[in-house]
Structures are given as structure tokens and as C-alpha cells.
């Protein structure tokens, strides 16, 4: 990369004025407009929310050890799975990579000083925190028991839980996403460094761009849907109540119109991370750059026209079923293309196995399984049998946890030295990655089997013949939980005791690796000028600095 780097020597951390130590005090953080600090503040909040969602999951799996419930009453179990779903979807997965890694990296990767609208970025964070506060208040008031899907008439007329407060929390957090999406789209369009053409952008940026399109187009619809639900609950009007002319299926259509694209919000950024990791750790140009870039866009666009596959058994017409089924098959193809291209990138690479790479490889394997099990659900006749069972639960956890979360962890580990200026102990990181991989499969693979066998989801109690597989799944969950705790420990440890990282500990390509670790507030000492394609590893220079 022919940027005029002012200083190629190793900068000792102490003499480095960077975004972390440029100013001190709580006010300098709460009133910051620096995208990097905002990214870190998001990281703190979503880690907290993940813990809440994780605790709910732990209690659920403990309860499911026994057919009649080992731990809690059904009413509590229903609140646990609802809380788990709502927190994990809206307050963890949707913001995870975009708000943390996206905020931190997008300006760095494109060679900009900050995002297009830094104050709007801070507002997004405050909106997110406000949303979290409403959600936590709802949980502390007893929690909702509607499921994360909030289907009426149950949620509008029958549930005696703080639905409106929780819906308000999701609504407000949604506006955080919308503004982030606007910010990212404008940043990527308008603030690329000279020479950074669209087709020289890292694939992470393409993925974030596609994700931001979904933020912009999809999130307002869930906002208005929950708004209508809230109004119905508050004012006893009958928008979704059949007794006074409403249609509960209209809610489902509107809900899934957002929530299906939302699952692509959750996976596209991870796919972007994987593209970065695979290239960095095989020191090779990505295979099929434009195919991966266009696949990201295709996924974003097609994701908006498949929502009906969540409603195959609602009594909608056979024709609607056929149309949504065919479109759901089509949306699978771009993802398959990506998997093949990543695999081909490894061919004749120079592969090393640090923790980020292990997460990336784990992603490819688990996402492949998760994606293929989606075909079972896109196929109408099998979906009739599988809808509403644990098969669906296993499918989406393979994608969300085996896919999105592994990508997130891989990205955190990869860019941690850049974010903090510190290295973490790679041995522990690899152990944690292996524990997560094993624990994950032990938890969720049995759920495919018990799902086909007929065990419905959201059951606090279940027939005794399903117990063995449930115990296996819960045992796996305990392993998985350990896998998540280990990084918390060593990453926190590294912030104080980790050795200094230097500009480019991995020898990776990308503008973010040319600047100091941690970067200065304005990102680059010298504004970069780009003259080569992304992942130009064939002409590698000295890797470590």
C-alpha cells in the first residue's frame, strides 16, 4: 500500500497519543463524537445485554432437563424464552457487529477521519441505551411472555405482562439502527479516501453497506408494527382483533416483513468479517471478490421478498406458499456462493491458525449446516411438519450462534489489537474457540433430531420420550457457556497486561492496519491515498512492525 506512512517504526504505547488517552473523564466519553469511542461504548452495552440474554437461556436449558420442568413454572419459562429472544435479537445480534466493529472500522477501512454524521452517531448510542433501559425495566417488572414475535391476539388482548414497555424499548432501539444505517450509507458513499473506488473496498464494507440498506428499509416497518400493537393494547382498539374486524395475520405479515431481512442484518456483517479473516490468515487475495460483493447486495434485496415462509401453516393460500418457497430457495444461492468462494480462497494460501481464523473456519462450517437446514424449511412439505418445532430453533441457532456470533467473536479477536493496542494470549483464545465450537454443536445438534421427532418449541413441559435429547442439549449448553466466559477473562486481562500490539500484528492488508494501534483520534497521521485493490497479498511487504 503506497501511503506515506510517517513512521514505520514500532511506537511504544506510552508515547502514543491515541483515541483512548486523548482525553480523560466520564464526560469525555459520554459526549464524545469519535466513532471509535462510540464503538467501544456500544461494545460495553451489548456485552451486558448478551449476558442478560445468556442468563435467560441458561435458566431455560436448566428447566428443560426434566419433562415437567426442573426449575421454573410455565409462566416463568414463557417469560424466559421471550426475554431471551427479544434481548438476543434486538439488543445483541442486530447491533452487534454494525454498532461495535462497524462503527470502529468503517472510517478506518475507507480512509476517513470519522463517519459522516458523528453527532448522529452519538445520538444513536443514546437511543440504543434508552431502548435497553426500557427493556430492562420491562424485565425487572416481571418480563413479557409473548415470545419475541409478539403475535396478537395473545400479545394485544391476553397477556398480562409489560408488553408496551418492552415494545417501546425495541421501538427506540430500532431508531438507533435506522440512524446508524443512514450514517453508514452516507459515509461509504461520500467519504472514501482518494483512490478507494467501490471495487477496492474491503468486503467488510460491502457487507456493512448491504446491512445498512436493510436497516434503512426494514427497521421502520417493525417500528410501525410495534407502534400499532402498542396502540391496540393501550387504547383497546381492534387493529389486530378479529372480534372487531381486525386481522392477526396482518400483524404477522408486517412483523416478518422486517424480521426476515433482520436475520440478514444479523448475518451479513459476520460474513463481511469472515471475508477479512480468511484473507488475512491465508495471506491471499479473496477468491471471487465481485461475486461476494454482489452476493451481499443480492441477499439484502431478496431478503425483503421471502417473509411469507414464516407463515406457511397459517392458512395462507397455496399460491402464496409456492411463491414464497421459490423465493426462499433463491435467497439461499448467494450465501452458497460465498461459502464456496471463501473455501477457494484457502487454496494455495499460506494459512495460520490464530484464534480469529479458527472462528472464521468454524463460521464456514456451521453456517453451511445452518444454511442447508434452511432448505428443509423453504421446502413446503417438510416445513409443514417442522414449523414450530425444535428443528427451526436448531436451524436459526446454527446461523445466529454458529454463524453470526462466531463471526463477531472472530472479528473482536482480530481487531482487538487495533482497538486496544494490546495482544491477548492466543493459546487461551484458541482453547475458547474450540470450546465454543464443541459446546455449540452439543447444544444444538440434538435439537434437529428432537424437532423432527415432533417436539414443539416454546414448551415449558414436554413428553418424556424427548428427555434424553434435551439433557444432551442442556449439557452442551453448559460447555458453550464456559466457552463464552473464557474470552471475557483474557480480553479484560489483556487491556492492562497484554503486550503492545504494534500497527500490524497479523501482517494483514487494509488501511486500518497502516495506522497506529490504538489509532489517533483523527485515525490517520497522514490521509491515505489508495492505489491498489483489497487483499493485495501477493506483493507482501514485511509483515510485522
Partner 1 sequence: MIGLAQIGLHNAAAALGLMPFAPPDASSIAGDVDRLYYLLTGITVFFSVLIFSIIFYFMIKYRRRSEDEVAPETHTSMALELTWTIIPSLICVVLFVWASALYVQESRPPASATEIFAIGKQWMWHLQHPEGPREINELHVPVGVPVKITLTSQDVIHDFFVPAFRVKKDALPGRYTSLWFDPTEVGKYHLFCAQYCGTNHGDMTGWIYVMSPKDYAAWLANGEKTESMAQQGEHLFTQYGCIECHVASGSGRGPSLVGLYGQPEKLASGEMRVVDETLIRQAILVPNSVHVPSYQPIMPTYQGQLTEEQILDLIAYVKSLGSQERNGK
Partner 2 sequence: MSEMAAHNAHAHPPGFAHQFEDAAQQKEAGTLGMWAFLVTEILFFGGMFTAYIVYRSLHLPGFIIGSHLLLVKFGATNTAVLICSSLTMALAIRSAQTGKSKGTIIWWLVLTMILGAAFLALKFTFEWRTDYLEHTVPGAFFGFEYRPEWGANAPYVQMFMCFYFFMTGLHALHMVVGLGILTVLVIMTARGKFSSEYYTPLEISGLYWHFVDIVWIFLFPLLYLIGGRYSGS
The answer to whether residue 524 forms part of the interface with partner 2 (CB under 8 A) is yes
Footprint on residues 254-293 left by partner 2 (CB under 8 A): 254
Give which of partner 2, partner 1, none residue 325 binds (C-beta under 5 to 8 Å, depending on kind): partner 1
389 strand-pairing partners: 456
C-alpha 297, offset from chain centre: 17
All three cell numbers of 357: 481464523
CB contact at 8 A, 248 and 152: yes
The answer to whether residue 320 forms part of the interface with partner 1 (CB under 8 A) is no
Main-chain phi, psi angles of 111, to 5 degrees: 85, 30
Peptide bond into 518 cis (omega under 30): yes
CB contact at 8 A, 309 and 328: yes
For residues 187 and 185, give the distance between their C-alpha atoms in angstroms, rounded to a whole number: 5
State the number of binding residues for partner 2 (CB under 8 A): 49
Nearer to partner 1, 125 or 391 (CB): 391
Quote the least distance from Cβ 420 to partner 1, whole Å: 24
Of 390, 372, 370, 380, nearest to 325 by C-alpha is 380
The answer to whether residue 347 forms part of the interface with partner 1 (CB under 8 A) is yes
The answer to whether residue 235 forms part of the interface with partner 2 (CB under 8 A) is yes
Nearer to partner 2, 320 or 488 (CB): 320
Footprint on residues 454-493 left by partner 1 (CB under 8 A): 454, 456-463, 465, 468-469
Give which of partner 2, partner 1, none residue 225 binds (C-beta under 5 to 8 Å, depending on kind): partner 2
| Largest Cα span, the chain | 74
Quote the least distance from Cβ 63 to partner 2, whole Å: 36
Task: Out of 19, 77, 117, 128, name the contact with partner 2 by CB under 8 A.
Answer: 117
The answer to whether residue 313 forms part of the interface with partner 1 (CB under 8 A) is yes
For residues 118 and 80, give the distance between their C-alpha atoms in angstroms, rounded to a whole number: 37
For residues 18 and 516, give the distance between their C-alpha atoms in angstroms, rounded to a whole number: 8
Of 120, 136, 228, 229, nearest to 175 by C-alpha is 120
Element (H, E) at 299: helix 289-302
State the number of binding residues for partner 1 (CB under 8 A): 91
The answer to whether residue 144 forms part of the interface with partner 1 (CB under 8 A) is no
Quote the least distance from Cβ 147 to partner 1, whole Å: 5
Phi/psi-derived region of residue 246, left when phi > 0, alpha when psi is between -120 and 50, beta in every other case: beta
Quote the least distance from Cβ 437 to partner 1, whole Å: 12
Using CA atoms, how far residue 118 sits from 32, 114, 414, in Å, is: 9, 7, 25
Nearer to partner 1, 352 or 492 (CB): 352
Task: Out of 340, 527, 533, 536, name the contact with partner 2 by CB under 8 A.
Answer: 527
Quote the least distance from Cβ 461 to partner 1, whole Å: 4
Task: Out of 142, 190, 198, 540, name the contact with partner 2 by CB under 8 A.
Answer: 190
The answer to whether residue 447 forms part of the interface with partner 2 (CB under 8 A) is no
The answer to whether residue 6 forms part of the interface with partner 2 (CB under 8 A) is yes
Task: Out of 60, 80, 254, 361, name the contact with partner 1 by CB under 8 A.
Answer: 361
Peptide bond into 153 cis (omega under 30): yes
Amino acid at each position: 500500500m503506497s501511503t506515506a506512512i510517517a513512521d514505520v517504526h514500532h511506537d511504544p504505547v506510552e508515547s502514543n497519543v491515541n483515541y483512548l488517552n486523548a482525553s480523560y473523564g466520564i464526560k469525555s466519553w459520554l459526549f464524545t463524537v469519535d466513532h471509535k469511542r462510540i464503538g467501544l461504548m456500544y461494545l460495553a452495552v451489548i456485552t451486558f445485554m448478551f449476558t442478560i440474554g445468556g442468563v435467560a437461556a441458561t435458566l431455560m436449558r436448566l428447566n428443560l432437563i426434566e419433562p415437567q420442568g426442573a426449575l421454573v413454572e410455565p409462566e416463568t419459562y414463557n417469560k424466559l424464552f421471550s426475554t431471551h429472544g427479544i434481548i438476543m435479537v434486538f439488543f445483541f445480534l442486530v447491533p452487534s457487529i454494525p454498532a461495535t466493529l462497524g462503527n470502529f472500522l468503517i472510517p478506518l477501512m475507507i480512509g476517513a477521519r470519522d463517519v459522516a454524521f458523528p453527532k448522529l452517531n452519538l445520538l444513536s448510542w443514546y437511543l440504543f441505551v434508552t431502548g435497553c433501559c426500557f427493556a430492562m425495566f420491562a424485565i425487572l417488572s416481571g418480563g413479557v411472555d409473548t415470545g419475541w414475535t409478539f403475535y396478537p391476539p395473545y400479545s394485544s388482548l391476553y397477556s398480562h405482562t409489560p408488553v408496551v414497555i418492552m415494545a417501546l424499548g425495541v421501538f427506540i432501539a430500532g431508531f438507533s439502527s435506522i440512524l446508524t444505517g443512514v450514517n453508514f450509507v452516507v459515509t461509504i458513499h461520500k467519504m472514501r479516501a482518494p483512490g478507494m473506488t467501490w471495487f477496492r473496498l474491503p468486503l467488510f464494507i460491502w457487507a456493512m453497506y448491504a446491512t445498512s440498506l436493510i436497516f434503512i428499509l426494514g427497521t421502520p416497518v417493525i417500528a410501525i408494527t410495534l407502534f400499532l400493537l402498542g396502540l391496540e393494547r393501550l387504547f383497546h382498539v381492534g387493529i389486530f382483533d378479529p372480534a372487531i374486524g381486525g386481522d392477526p395475520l396482518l400483524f404477522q405479515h408486517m412483523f416478518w416483513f422486517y424480521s426476515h431481512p433482520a436475520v440478514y442484518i444479523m448475518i451479513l456483517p459476520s460474513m463481511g468479517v469472515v471475508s477479512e479473516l480468511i484473507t488475512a490468515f491465508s495471506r491471499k487475495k479473496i477468491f471471487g471478490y465481485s461475486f461476494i460483493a454482489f452476493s451481499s447486495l443480492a441477499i439484502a434485496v431478496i431478503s425483503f421478498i421471502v417473509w411469507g415462509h414464516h407463515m406457511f401453516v397459517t392458512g395462507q393460500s397455496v399460491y402464496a406458499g409456492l411463491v414464497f418457497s421459490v423465493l426462499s430457495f433463491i435467497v439461499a444461492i448467494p450465501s452458497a456462493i460465498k461459502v464456496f468462494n471463501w473455501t477457494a480462497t484457502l487454496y494455495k494460501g499460506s494459512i495460520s491458525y490464530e484464534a480469529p481464523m479458527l472462528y472464521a473456519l468454524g463460521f464456514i462450517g456451521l453456517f453451511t449446516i445452518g444454511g442447508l437446514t434452511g432448505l428443509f424449511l423453504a421446502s413446503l412439505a417438510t416445513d409443514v411438519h417442522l414449523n414450530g418445532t425444535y428443528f427451526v430453533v436448531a436451524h436459526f441457532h446454527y446461523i445466529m450462534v454458529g454463524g453470526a456470533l462466531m463471526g463477531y467473536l472472530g472479528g473482536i479477536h482480530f481487531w482487538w489489537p487495533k482497538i486496544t493496542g494490546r495482544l491477548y494470549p492466543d493459546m487461551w483464545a484458541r482453547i475458547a474457540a474450540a470450546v465454543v465450537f464443541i459446546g455449540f454443536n452439543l447444544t444444538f445438534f440434538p435439537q434437529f433430531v428432537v424437532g423432527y421427532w415432533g417436539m414443539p418449541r416454546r414448551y415449558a413441559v414436554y413428553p418424556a420420550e424427548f428427555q434424553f435429547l434435551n439433557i444432551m442439549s442442556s449439557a452442551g449448553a453448559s460447555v458453550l457457556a464456559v466457552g463464552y466466559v473464557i474470552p471475557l477473562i483474557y480480553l479484560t486481562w489483556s487491556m492492562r497486561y497484554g503486550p503492545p500490539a504494534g500497527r500490524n500484528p497479523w501482517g494483514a492488508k487494509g488501511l486500518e492496519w497502516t495506522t497506529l494501534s490504538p489509532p489517533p483520534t483523527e485515525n490517520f497521521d497522514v490521509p491515505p491515498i489508495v492505489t491498489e485493490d483489497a487483499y493485495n497479498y501477493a506483493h507482501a511487504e514485511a509483515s510485522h512492525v
